[in-house]
């Protein structure tokens, strides 16, 4: 392979959770390492490897291990709990076997960069004497909330209406990750989120895909306790600093985008006139919420580009696509980065998954936040109250964001009195994002520091007397 023909300084094995929202940030970090002379190998499951392809121009190898469900992935498991426990048992063994294979190949592994949802991977890294590097794809704010719960410093169920944690703004209970303020839902995911921090004190490094100024106070608080570094934004270089010319996309996409249809449609629309709507690759809106959102978009009279996954199309109101074809375009997937950078986009109506938020912030796109679950409520809190580049659409007592609220929020972000302030803040975050990852920026320096640690590990590993 092309990788094997280069004189690599060290070798990092990157092991994200097998979902696009986890793979993409890790893959982008790997590209940064490769640009600095480090060999990077991405590890995924045998099942997922059947549907993904890493662009050869990224110079990143792809290897596979088993999660115990090689024919169907997590959908094959009888429950989330079964998937998590089986992955730990089978994954530990097959990951160790992979490291042995790579060590015999002439490119021995020096560091294991593992997803925070796999705390057991630390033990595998320890077995082989590798740098133990925890990679978090959520914000530092979400990490520190979960850490406080795991250590018993924040007790759940929450006892009061306000949550106070060092480094964070005061939050209402509904601003915390959904697994924490509503323990009745997704109990298995609660365990996954909180258990990330069981062995955090044994890590050598903790990496987050945000950047320092995004979460300055909480980053500083965490960095005093662990070797925590921000290395983002984990967005392809050509959208930011442009120092990696081949880095124009994430290189992995589990859905097929309707690229030409989206971009051609946007070309015909006025500047800053279109609302881009997407709830990511996982979130599933209920039928009632989907229909309220649909009528809110129609009532706003804005142009809209709405991504509705093929499995969700049945939730749209009858004849909605036909009735709104003069104003809207509904597609099953799209090239989100290309869309967000298009001059026709005026705002992003988003579920506030962290990758989507990071993209919008990096590209200077105002947001209307409609969080659903997981870390999304906390991300929405930051969008509105910390970064001040959007508005959170408030749900009613039934948890539904009604059409009237959608209309009001869109008008406020697109044309209201707040719109100029929000757009100015969005432009400022775009500038700060580029500065962070550009040469000499905080994230760039942090990556250089990590590379230096890798090289030090390589030298020590080659010394027989150590």
Q: Are 309 and 330 in contact (CB under 8 A)?
A: no
Burial bucket for residue 128 (CB in 10 Å: 0-12, 13-18, 19+):
middle
**Taking a C-beta distance cutoff of 8 angstroms, is the pair 351, 374 a contact?**
no
Contact between 361 and 436 (Cβ < 8 Å) = no
Task: Give φ, ψ of 219 to 5 degrees.
Answer: -65, -45
Contact indicator for 320, 338 with CB cutoff of 8 Å: no
- Tokens representing 357 are 């938020």
Tokens of 107: 């490119």
Contacts of 406 (CB under 8 A, 6+ apart): 292, 293, 296, 297, 299, 300, 349, 368, 393
Contact 461, 108 (CB under 8 A): yes
* Residue showing tokens 């124009």: 248
- Do residues 132 and 206 lie in contact, with contact meaning Cβ atoms separated by under 8 Å? no
In the residue annotation, 22 being an active-site residue is answered as yes
Active-site choice (11, 22, 148, 342): 22
Told to judge if 375 belongs to the known catalytic residues of this protein, a careful annotator would answer no
Question: Among 61, 67, 115, 175, which one carries the catalytic annotation?
Answer: 115
Report the largest interatomic distance among the alpha carbons of the chain, rounded to a whole angstrom. Answer: 75
Axis crossing angle, helix 140-150 with helix 187-194, rounded to the nearest 10: 100
Spatial separation of the C-alpha atoms in residues 287 and 219, rounded to whole Å: 39
The catalytic residue positions are 22, 115
């Amino acid at each position: 392979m092309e990788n094997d023909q280069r004189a690599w300084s060290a070798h990092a094995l990157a092991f994200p959770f097998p979902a696009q929202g986890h793979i993409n940030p890790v893959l982008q970090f790997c590209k940064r390492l490769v640009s600095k002379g480090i060999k990077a190998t991405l590890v995924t499951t045998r099942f997922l490897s059947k549907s993904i392809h890493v662009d050869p121009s990224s110079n990143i190898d792809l290897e596979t291990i088993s999660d115990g469900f090689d024919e169907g992935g997590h959908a094959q498991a009888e429950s989330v709990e079964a998937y998590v426990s089986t992955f730990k048992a089978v994954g530990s063994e097959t990951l160790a076997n992979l490291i042995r294979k790579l060590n015999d190949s002439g490119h021995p592994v020096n560091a294991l960069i593992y997803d925070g949802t796999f705390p057991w991977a630390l033990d595998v890294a320890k077995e082989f004497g590798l740098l133990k590097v925890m990679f978090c794809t959520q914000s530092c704010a979400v990490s520190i909330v979960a850490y406080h719960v795991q250590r018993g410093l924040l007790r759940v169920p929450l006892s009061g209406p306000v949550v106070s944690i060092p480094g964070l703004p005061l939050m209402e209970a509904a601003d915390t990750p959904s697994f924490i303020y509503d323990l009745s839902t997704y109990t298995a995911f609660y365990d996954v989120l909180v258990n990330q921090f069981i062995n955090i004190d044994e890590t050598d490094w903790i990496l987050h895909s945000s950047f320092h100024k995004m979460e300055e106070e909480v980053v500083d608080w965490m960095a005093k306790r662990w070797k925590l570094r921000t290395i983002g934004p984990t967005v392809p270089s050509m959208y930011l600093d442009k120092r990696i010319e081949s880095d124009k996309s994430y290189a992995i996409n589990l859905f097929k985008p309707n690229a030409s249809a989206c971009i051609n449609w946007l070309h015909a629309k006025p500047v800053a006139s279109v609302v881009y709507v997407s709830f990511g690759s996982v979130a599933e809106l209920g039928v009632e919420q989907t229909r309220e959102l649909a009528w809110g978009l129609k009532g706003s009279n804005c142009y809209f580009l709405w991504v509705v996954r093929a499995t969700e199309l049945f939730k749209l109101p009858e004849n909605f696509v036909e009735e709104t074809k003069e104003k809207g375009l509904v597609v099953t997937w799209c090239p989100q980065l290309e869309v967000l950078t298009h001059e026709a986009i005026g705002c992003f109506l988003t579920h506030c998954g962290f990758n989507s938020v990071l993209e919008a912030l990096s590209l200077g796109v105002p947001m209307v936040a409609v969080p659903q679950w997981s870390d999304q409520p906390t991300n929405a809190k930051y969008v509105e109250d910390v970064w001040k580049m959007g508005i959170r659409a408030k749900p009613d007592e039934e948890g539904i964001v009604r059409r009237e609220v959608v209309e009001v929020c869109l008008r406020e972000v697109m044309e209201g009195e707040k719109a100029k302030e929000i757009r100015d803040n969005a432009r400022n975050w775009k500038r700060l994002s580029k500065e962070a990852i550009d040469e000499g920026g905080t994230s760039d320096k942090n990556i250089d520091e990590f590379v230096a640690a890798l090289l030090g590990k390589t030298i020590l590993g080659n010394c027989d007397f150590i």
